[in-house]
Amino acid sequence: MIARFDRAALHVTPPAGYRPGPLRAEQLSAWQWLEAWCFEGAGDGRRPPPLPFGMAVLAGPPGSGRSHLAEAWSRHLDGDERLQALPAGWPRLRLRLAVKLADSLPGRRRRRNDPWDCGYLSGSAAALQALRRFQPRRATLMVADGLPAPALAACLAALAPRQAGFRQPVRLLVIAAGAAWSVRRA
């Protein structure tokens, strides 16, 4: 009940210039792929997942909306959309308490609509230290958006020795520049 989002390892501030809005056709197609990728091998939450760590690359030309898609997917996956749709006050508190209760029930089967932890990797020295100790409290999506290659490599090196011990699935989505839209496992 007291486990919290690991703000030392991940931050939730969206990329500069992010504005919520509708997704375009190519983003909707990638959304379906992201959903399948996140849940593939995620397990049921009662045992360690068959695929504790997965990485994918979302590529597209500058201005194609890759960062927008990643942020929209994160807000959907972490339950923020559901929370924001509720009136302020008791309804939102009730949802938060229900999520905490569900997290704390031993042997509870994870449901597809259970919130994930979602956040961005920063590559800072402090965040790398936190990644070396990272243990997901629930299914987690990490997004590497605009991280230079050496910083991404350092994040992967920090996570690598921990992966086999993850009791919840962790997915890393790398946002990359490319000539055309593509999503692929890395």
Q: Give the domain CATH number at 63.
A: 3.40.50
Range of the domain at 70: 27-185
Band (1; pLDDT cuts 50, 70, 90): low
Tens digit of pLDDT for each residue in 14-29? Answer: 877 677 788 888 899 8
**How many other CB atoms sit within 10 Å of the CB of residue 113?**
9
As given in the structure block, the two tokens for residue 99 are 């999520």
For residue 14, being part of any structural domain is answered with: no
Name the domain count of the chain: 1
* 3 state SS of 178: coil
* Residues 99-105: contacts with CB under 8 Å, at least 24 apart: 100/1, 101/1, 103/1, 103/3, 103/137, 103/138, 104/1
For residue 43, being part of any structural domain is answered with: yes
Q: Which residue has the higher pLDDT, 177 or 41?
A: 41
As given in the structure block, the two tokens for residue 13 are 């501030």
Q: What is the mean pLDDT of residues 70-79?
A: 94
Tens digit of pLDDT for each residue in 105-114? Answer: 888 899 999 9
pLDDT in the model for residue 3: 67
182 closest CA partner among 59, 89, 71:
59
pLDDT in the model for residue 52: 96
Integer Cα distance of 107 and 110 in angstroms: 9
Question: With left for phi above 0 and alpha for psi between -120 and 50, is residue 9 left, alpha or beta?
Answer: alpha
Integer Cα distance of 13 and 58 in angstroms: 19
For residue 7, being part of any structural domain is answered with: no
Q: Is the pLDDT of residue 119 over 60?
A: yes
